[in-house]
Amino acid sequence: SQKIEQNSEALNIQEGKTATLTCNYTNYSPAYLQWYRQDPGRGPVFLLLIRENEKEKRKERLKVTFDTTLKQSLFHITASQPADSATYLCALSLGSGNTGKLIFGQGTTLQVKP
Amino acid sequence: GAGVSQSPSNKVTEKGKDVELRCDPISGHTALYWYRQSLGQGLEFLIYFQGNSAPDKSGLPSDRFSAERTGGSVSTLTIQRTQQEDSAVYLCASEASGGPGKNIQYFGAGTRLSVL
């Protein structure tokens, strides 16, 4: 069966450390993968997109890797801050012919402690 | 508008009643999506509109769910004869057809539906 899985347990880290979140998938061949941030009571906000032919993407303190052999994406936040505390969702897009609909993981909640 | 707007923000209804949820996408965005998020879960795709093409309804969970998009802009998601398992947050997203915003979905804050 097709599955997309993220760390189900909350991730607690100390301010200033690097947070690493994992997204694993099975039986999909995504054209690209995205990471979103969701705060309580709000809709998800786009952070980064990485395509199947890209290994790594960076944006400020954020870094995403995409390994299509392992079927895994890692999301890193360096020099983490309490304001980074939120739920982070990974989402797959199967690309053209499958519309732009996204298949989401259940999310990982990150708590950064001062 | 500045962003995707959804209304109402909260809706409480009785089992068996019909409800309508509204989404105003970002002006000029041709694609519009509806998702459902149950407590502690990821988002579940419901339906997708792209321009004048036939919508992709593959995610609608039953024939009690329907959606329309009038004039290529505002969309309404209708749930008939609501059931308690319909309780969730219903999220709408819009997407540009080209340019730097392509493939990026912009979400509204959602409508929290509670069926008693």
Within an 8 Å CB–CB cutoff, is residue B4 touching chain A? yes
A104–B42 CB contact, under 8 Å: yes
Compute the average pLDDT of residues A78-88: 97
B33–A104 CB contact, under 8 Å: no
Compute the average pLDDT of residues B90-108: 87
Are the beta carbons of B116 and B12 closer than 8 angstroms? yes
pLDDT tens by residue, B8-46: 999 999 999 999 999 999 998 989 999 999 987 789 999
Instruction: Indicate which of A25, A99, A103 best probes the interface with B, i.e. most B CBs within 10 Å of its own CB.
Output: A99
- Distance in angstroms (rounded) separating the CA atoms of residues B105 and A45: 8
Task: Closest CB to B45: pick one of A32, A46, A103.
Answer: A103
Mean pLDDT of chain A: 91
Residue of B nearest to A41 (CA): B109
A51: exposed, middle or buried (C-beta count within 10 Å: 0-12, 13-18, 19+)?
Answer: middle
State percent of chain B over pLDDT 90. Answer: 78
Judging contacts by C-beta atoms under 8 Å, the chain A residues touching residue B41 are: 106
Which pLDDT value is given to residue B78? 98
